[in-house]
Structure 1
Amino acid sequence: MTAQSDGWAGMGWDWTDADDIRRRLDDGADPDSCNGSRPLHRAAVSGSPEAVAELARRVADVNALQDGVTALWEAVVSRKPANARALAAAGADPWRPSLGGWSPGRLSLAGPTPELFPAPEGIALTDTERAAAQEAHRLTVALGEFDYDGTGLACVAAIDAAEAVRRLQAPPVVDDGLLDVLNELVEDPYAHDMDESLHIVGVTSVPGGCVVTQPWGYAPQMPGVLIRLSAGTLCYGLYANPKSGNQGSIARDGIIEGSDLHPGGDPDEDDTSAQVLAAYLYQHNAVAYACAFAGLRLADRRAVTGPPDVWAELPHRDYWSH
């Protein structure tokens, strides 16, 4: 069927109107296809429990896969417990293994609704997974909600601010006039030309390491910065690009191991068990993900938003060819 003949023409992201969905289904809409995707998966994320239940009783297989996951998996990952319960009531299997070996039910044990499904005997989180979930809750609460669009970060394990400044050969900014400009930049990042301020970064010691921040630009995530910071340790770089979304990089012992990553996004089909758990715990929170990846245990968001322990001036060099 085409998008015009499958009965779902005009449907966008809102699948909450159970009466409209029921009417479409009664008129012949395909319960298993909507413009190349599965309606039940869409409703699991963006619908109401009533809409989910209506679709679930009409589909050929309530455990059908799309992009390697079931609708129940989508409901759990999207933190839609009422939709997840509606799917389970319709026969969806909470304990079917999925990405990284996790089942929707076991993954839910690490989230805000661990009582979502009655767990069979022997199904539980490991001590390591439980500790990761507890730290994720603590860290996200400590950071709180804030707008970090346009922010660049380098989260560095096992070194403090003084060592980061030494590695970058970045002298502290002491000029009062420039410090005033920096304070203005934090308040209004677009009040000044980025080219004039891109070489200034903030550096702050935190439990577990340090954070190099630039609330108005991408400098901390430049390869030449990450390589210098990560010598003998681990570093996660983040640029919250206002145009294209969060961009992540991993540097380990002076080598870029990963780039063009998407911290804060959904788990991927090829993710390991640990990566799936981290993606679930830090969904839509790229800053917390970056900090946690490097093992940083921030008590608040000052290291990210400022004022930092020290403002430092990067030497003028090519940071893109390393």
Structure 2
Amino acid sequence: MAAIDADEAVSRLEATPADEAELADILDDPYDYDLDETLHIIGVTTVPGGCVITQPWGYAPSMPGIHTRLSRGTISYGLYANPKSGNQGSTTRDGVVEGWDLHPGGAPDVDATPEEVLSSYLFRANAAAYACAWAGLRPTDNAAIVGRPDRWVELPERDYWIH
């Protein structure tokens, strides 16, 4: 998410701190759980330029309802590193999903803008870097993507597939 920090993201999502005991069990072995049991927990980290939302075991940070809430007045890039079909991306601007089923880090589309073409070559095969660059994020290391987030939060129960 561009231009908002972790505090603002948590506020916009109406999220609450994750239960420490539940989180410890999930982090110990997230694949011991049915995915539906753990989708409500996400990580949030402030980075230069905005914040990164992560979930190492699932796709919650890429759901459109997350991005429509977070992108009010700004932009966001959703990324799901799908182990079955590859990286899937989406773009949202000011609460409206603009692009869906994108392939970050892949070859540029034939109708890509010059900026998208350049990013496609600069970040070839690096979907996370592509997504961060698209949103104007400038993480200083890879901790926001692969490390422990600044905080783990629990999303309120709602349908996040609704735009």
Higher relative contact order (CA 8 A, sep 6+): 2
Given residue 163 of structure 1, which amino acid in structure 2 is its aligned partner? E
| Residue 288 of structure 1 pairs with residue 129 of structure 2 | yes
Superposition deviation, residue 179 in structure 1: 2.6
* Counterparts of 2:110 and 2:85, CA distance in 1: 22
Given residue 66 of structure 2, which amino acid in structure 1 is its aligned partner? V
Superposition deviation, residue 261 in structure 1: 0.4
- 2:26, 2:33 within 8 Å by CA — same for their partners in 1? no
- Any unmatched runs of 5+ in structure 1? 1-155
Runs ≥4 residues deviating over 2 A: 189-192
Equivalent pairs: percent with the same residue?
A: 64
Structural RMSD (CA): 1.2
What do the CA deviations read for 1:212-263 (whole angstroms, capped 9, x no partner)? 1111111111111000000000100000111111110000000001101000
Aligned to 1:240: 81
- Any unmatched runs of 5+ in structure 2? none
- 1:278 alignment partner, SS class: helix
| Residue 218 of structure 1 pairs with residue 62 of structure 2 | no
| Residue 180 of structure 1 pairs with residue 24 of structure 2 | yes
Which of the numbers 228, 244, 258 marks the counterpart of 2:99?
258
Given residue 211 of structure 1, which amino acid in structure 2 is its aligned partner? V
Given residue 293 of structure 1, which amino acid in structure 2 is its aligned partner? W
Larger helix proportion of the pair: 1
1:49-198, aligned counterparts within 5 Å? 156-173=1-18, 175-185=19-29, 189-198=30-39
Given residue 69 of structure 2, which amino acid in structure 1 is its aligned partner? R
| Residue 278 of structure 1 pairs with residue 122 of structure 2 | no
* Counterparts of 1:300 and 1:182, CA distance in 2: 25
Given residue 178 of structure 1, which amino acid in structure 2 is its aligned partner? E
Superposition deviation, residue 192 in structure 1: 2.3
Higher Cα Rg: structure 1 or 2?
1
1:37-52, aligned counterparts within 5 Å? none
Over 3 Å counting, the alpha-carbon distance change for 1:304 and 1:182 in structure 2 is farther
Larger strand proportion of the pair: 2
- 1:202, 1:306 within 8 Å by CA — same for their partners in 2? no
Given residue 298 of structure 1, which amino acid in structure 2 is its aligned partner? P
Given residue 138 of structure 2, which amino acid in structure 1 is its aligned partner? R
Superposition deviation, residue 299 in structure 1: 1.3
Superposition deviation, residue 304 in structure 1: 1.4
- 1:170, 1:313 within 8 Å by CA — same for their partners in 2? yes
Superposition deviation, residue 182 in structure 1: 3.5
